[in-house]
Amino acid sequence: MNKTDEKDQAVHLPPVYNNAQKHAVFPNVSQDEKARFNFLTALQQHLASTVELGNKATFDKRVKPQSLARTGRDFKTPEQVGEAMSQDLYYQMWSALQRSAQEMIQQAGRSVVLRQIENLVEKVKQYNAQRPETLSLDPSLAIPHYLTRVDHQCMPGGYHTEYIADDVTNAAVEEITGSLEIGKGSGLLSDGKRYAVVDWLKKNYPDFKPKRILDIGCGIGNNTLPLAVGYPEAEVVGIDASAVALRYAHARATALKTPNVRFVQANAETLPVDNGSFDWVQSTMFLHTTSASAINAVVRETYRVLTSGGLMLHVCPAPYPPGTSLFEQFMGNWETFNNNEPFLGVLHKMDQVEWMKSAGFLERNLLQFGLSVASNNDNKSQSLVDHSYGHGVLTAQNAFGAWKE
């Protein structure tokens, strides 16, 4: 660690964008663009660590007392808390800044990619041509409605929209904006969550040696490659509905010299694979982009394609723990209403145990645990459960799954 890094750490600044690891298909970022990303990362951290905290004080000292005086009764639901908080100027300020910061991040990443998109497309083509047999796209695939009806996380057009032939625009934007996550300890290639899964499995199940691994909702592959690196003898298959993401993911894997992975365009609700053909089925931050019916279908399909003794694991936002206050539930739902993640609030309340049991998994074989993020910055892990970057304790991640008998 140099003196600049030590000074930044002393004043709790996030890692600078220069620390983000690059690869051959990573978009070129100018010095001015890096400075803009550094500002946006610092702005997010300031909003989360300082400005957001004022919402609780506002609720306790002003909103709740005023509501009690006016109505004579306490809040009964998080929606009632939200109705009252949405009238308060402090909350309005924080929420507007938070949304603006998210939009600025998307637009900053988009401006970087669009000025070089033709070159990026050609570069991706060149890398994909090196291993054409490990990329399978299906132009006839219908994109699920829960992906087309909203621009998730303020990504214009969502993660599937194509603007030009062989497009990779939104995938490259996702990579660039995802690299801002290094400020949250999420890994220099935005892959810390998945390395954490691999580390946890190797520590707790050292005899588990999967031969075939399926990563559903793989996106740009940043959470797929750690599986291939962690289990180099296994064949890893990443599936996603977005051809944009898969073109980029495949070129990215080739550039990072990860030969034991291939990518297939498919809908996770109807997996185009045989019964009992995978030893491990995994997803990372995928389920909250779907719907209740889709989740049930995904879990049933996972059970079908797993071998006996196989493992299903999902890393996703944690459900509300017992005793979660109405205020915390309201804050935990901010992304649901303000960051284009409409299913997130529902996911917080759904019973993960019942999903798994209804698909055929036995209760004695269920798993649910917190993780430690492999940050890749200083070889130190950060707890996903204790680390609360965002809107209260409810943004903590968790892992759940089951072994199939």
- The C-alpha atoms of residue 55 and residue 78 are separated, in whole angstroms, by 14
Q: How confident is the model at residue 69 (pLDDT cuts 50, 70, 90)?
A: very high
* Per-residue pLDDT at 391 exceeds 60: no
CATH architecture assignment, domain 1-405: 3-Layer(aba) Sandwich (3.40)
- The C-alpha atoms of residue 394 and residue 397 are separated, in whole angstroms, by 8
**Cβ proximity of 362 and 349 under 8 Å:** no
Instruction: For residue 127, give the nearest of 297, 267, 254, 38 by alpha carbon.
Output: 254
Both tokens assigned to 379: 């070889």
Q: How confident is the model at residue 189 (pLDDT cuts 50, 70, 90)?
A: low
Instruction: For residue 221, give the nearest of 138, 129, 302, 124 by alpha carbon.
Output: 124
- The C-alpha atoms of residue 73 and residue 4 are separated, in whole angstroms, by 53
Tell me the β-bridge partners of 240.
265
3-state class (DSSP) for residue 372: strand
Both tokens assigned to 380: 């130190």
- The C-alpha atoms of residue 395 and residue 317 are separated, in whole angstroms, by 6
CB atoms within 10 A of CB 219: 26
Q: What is the pLDDT of residues 79-136, one digit of tens each?
A: 999 999 999 999 999 999 999 999 999 999 999 999 999 999 999 999 999 999 999 9
**Cβ proximity of 115 and 242 under 8 Å:** no
Q: What is the pLDDT of residues 150-170, one digit of tens each?
A: 898 889 999 999 999 999 999
Both tokens assigned to 135: 């990329």
- The C-alpha atoms of residue 331 and residue 219 are separated, in whole angstroms, by 27
